[in-house]
Amino acid sequence: MADHGLAQEVPTDSVSDVDRKQELTDSASDESKKPELNWNTFYEQRAGRLVVDPKEASIEFGEAIASKLKLSEDGTKVLWPQPTDSKYDPQNWSSLRKNMHLLIITLAAIVPDFDSGIGIAGTFQLATQYDTTTGWSIFLLGLMGGLFAVILIRRYGRLPVLFWSQVLAAAFLAGCTFAPNLRTFTVMRCLTALFGFGLYVVTDLFPFHLQARKLNIWTMGFILSPFISPFAFGFLVARLSWRWAYGIGSIYGAIVCILIMLFMEETMYDRNIDPIPEPAEEGFSYRFKTLIGITGYKMSKYRLSWYEATASLFRVVWRPHLLIILVFEALVFGFSIGINVTTPVFLGTPPPLDTASRSLLSLVGIIIGELIGRFNNDYIMNVSIRRNNGVFEAESRLWACYVGIPLYICGFNQLSPGAFIMGFGISMVAVMIITVAVYAYCNDCFPQHPGEISALVNLARTLGGFAVAYFQIPWAVKNGTLQVFGVESAVVTGLFFLCVPLIQIKGRYFRERFSL
């Protein structure tokens, strides 16, 4: 590393600051032999541990280096990743431009589970029309689309993958609307789930200290989505055909496609390539080529090979701190979604109005969870930075789970039907809080793999919810719903005590030992 001025006088009122400065001074001769840090990728190299306080940056990097680091507008936090000087770097976009992209990507993230949730409202009408049981249409959910999308994104960028996936999802949902028979409807429904997925672009747009807050909004979108359609269409299907529900869902998908075409830009900035490739043209032609994938195809020669892009998922998933927290999230999210998809069957009769009312309470619970998380995550981050002398450790994100678990237990353990519905809303507050914490932690540990993290967390929660629906109904019929939900909350609580404290204690070791 170049001379960082580690022996310079650094004003400080803390003895610990002096000690750390002395330690760094002692190793300065060794550090000077290392190549200069690449600040474009430093955020990725130091995954899970970031110097956020500018004063601490002066101690760790030296005054000469620290003075060149770009800070937040109020000057209190070092920006990670460090923005380049290019206007094409999404980190340099205006707040309005960033938030517009966040809004559109959140609307797109709603599409997959929103489309799948339409079937909940029309379950009994579909079963009656096609002369089949109520269960089959509940479980048609694609699992592999998001994983395959990550490979394409690694090669061709986010925008074309997002655009074509949303177009295909809307088209296949329209196929569900006009399906003349059960076989056609089944194929269209499976393809809709396969191609409908949202993308994770929060880290592309926002610096580290804002990511949890923005992640909270994006997460709220896809957690809300399976409840929006039962709420909106439960009342509709009670009076009109189920085809109206799928038709309106198709219109929503088309609106999202139009917003993507008009306003979305490529947010994937290849800051790990030296020199960073930038567009040679601008205007409508460049925008059109980027949207449909021509620009991404040209850029693929700079990016990972097909083998590397495919292997990346497998290189990430087995890391112990990631795998442990994914198992925890799978059951937290899975049990809650399992209740959502099986409650109509528990009731035993066509329940569109009851389903809509229950979904409304779930929506309220998720919004409350977003509001709690908005302030709770920032509070945890700031307290952690102060206690760690200006350094943020990723494991502090998981303190939010300690807030969510008591709410989860309260929500799942209710005796009467009315209390159960209220409890379900409370449990969704917990799911919102915990899921945001899990996403933020995983992303902090693997900032160079946001697509893989998004796909794997999505796969975990999908597998959890998909599997629960198969065993929950016969179990409840045999032993009662009170036992089912009591045992499920106990399992989640047990996993919490097994997983979260372990990661908080051993997380730094896991990150250092199994880093990428």
Residue 51 in 3-state DSSP? strand
Whether 44 contacts 271, CB under 8 Å: no
Distant-in-sequence, close-in-space partners of 19: CB < 8 Å, separation ≥ 6? none
Q: Give the pLDDT of residue 416.
A: 64
Q: Give the pLDDT of residue 123.
A: 63
* Beta-bridge partners for 78: 71
Whether 449 contacts 312, CB under 8 Å: yes
Closest among 443, 365, 377, 498 to 50, alpha carbons compared: 443
- What is the SS3 assignment for 241-282? CHHHHHHHHHHHHHHHHHHHHHHCCCCCCCCCCCCCCCCCCC
- pTM for the structure as a whole: 0.85
Q: Per-residue pLDDT for the chain (516 aa), expressed as one digit of tens each?
A: 334 333 333 344 444 554 555 554 444 444 444 445 677 778 887 888 899 999 999 998 888 888 889 999 888 999 999 998 888 999 999 999 999 999 999 999 898 888 877 876 666 666 666 655 444 444 444 455 577 888 899 999 999 999 999 999 899 999 988 888 877 877 887 777 666 666 678 889 999 899 999 999 998 988 888 888 888 887 777 777 778 888 999 999 999 999 999 999 999 998 888 788 887 778 888 999 999 999 999 999 889 899 999 999 899 999 999 999 999 999 998 888 766 655 655 555 455 556 666 677 778 888 999 999 888 999 999 999 999 999 999 999 999 999 999 999 988 876 666 666 677 788 889 999 999 999 999 999 998 888 889 888 888 887 777 677 677 777 777 877 778 888 888 999 999 999 999 999 999 999 988 877
